[in-house]
Amino acid sequence: MGKHFVAENCTAIGPAPCTVENTIYGYYPNLGLNAFFVAAFAALVIPQIIIGTWKKQYFYSYAIACGCIGEAIGYGGRVMMHSNPYKDIAFTIQISCLIFSPAFIAAGIYLVLKHIVRAFGEERSRIPARYYTWIFITCDWISLMLQAIGGGMAGGAKDNVSKRNMGTNLMIIGIVWQVGTLIVFACLVTDYAIRTSRSWGIVSADAKNLFARRSFKGFLVAVAVAFITVFLRCVYRIAEMVGGWANPIMRDETGFVIMEGFMILIAASVLTLFHPGFCFSQPGLAQKSPMLGSISSSDVAQNEAEKGVSARQPRFLRVSRQTSE
CATH of the domain at 98: 1.20.1070
- Residue 63 domain-assigned? yes
In Å, how far are 34, 69, 275 from 72, measured between CA atoms? 9, 5, 20
- Residue 291 domain-assigned? no
pLDDT tens-digit readout, 231-282: 999 999 999 999 888 999 999 999 999 999 999 999 999 999 999 999 987 4
The structure's pTM equals: 0.85
Longest dimension (CA), the chain: 75
Torsion sign across C-alpha atoms 76, 176, 1, 17: positive
pLDDT of 293 above 80: no
- Residue 12 domain-assigned? no
Q: What was the pLDDT predicted at 49? A: 97
Number of H helices, E strands in the chain: 12, 0
- Residue 90 domain-assigned? yes
CB atoms within 10 A of CB 236: 18
pLDDT band at 210 (very low <50, low <70, confident <90, very high): very high
The span from the CA of 157 to the CA of 163, in Å, is: 6
Beta strands in 85-192 (DSSP E): none
pLDDT band at 300 (very low <50, low <70, confident <90, very high): very low
pLDDT band at 164 (very low <50, low <70, confident <90, very high): confident
Q: What was the pLDDT predicted at 2? A: 61
- Residue 323 domain-assigned? no
DSSP of 52-88 = HHHTT-HHHHHHHHHHHHHHHHHHHHHHHHHH-TT-H
The span from the CA of 111 to the CA of 63, in Å, is: 10
Task: Show Cβ contacts of residue 124 under 8 Å, excluding neighbours closer than 6 positions.
Answer: 117, 192, 195, 196, 199
Q: What percent of the chain has pLDDT over 90?
A: 74
| Partners of 318 in the β-ladder | 290
pLDDT mean over 198-226: 94
pLDDT of 310 above 50: no
Of 60, 20, 71, whose CA–CA distance to 289 is shortest? 60
Amino acid at 3: K
Range scoring the smallest mean pLDDT among 82-96, 242-256, 268-282, 308-322: 308-322
Q: Are 179 and 238 in contact (CB under 8 A)?
A: yes
Domain housing 49: 26-282
Which comes out higher in pLDDT, residue 156 or 11?
Answer: 11
Encode burial over 172-197: b for 16+ CB neighbours within 10 A, e otherwise. Answer: bebbbbbbebbeebeebbeebeeebe
Task: Show Cβ contacts of residue 258 under 8 Å, excluding neighbours closer than 6 positions.
Answer: none
pLDDT tens-digit readout, 41-64: 999 999 999 999 999 889 999 999
Region of residue 304 (left: phi > 0; alpha: psi -120 to 50; beta: else): alpha
Q: What was the pLDDT predicted at 322? A: 39
- Residue 85 domain-assigned? yes
| Partners of 290 in the β-ladder | 318
- Residue 18 domain-assigned? no
CB atoms within 10 A of CB 212: 9
- For the chain, what is the domain count? 1
Task: Show Cβ contacts of residue 228 under 8 Å, excluding neighbours closer than 6 positions.
Answer: none
- Residue 104 domain-assigned? yes
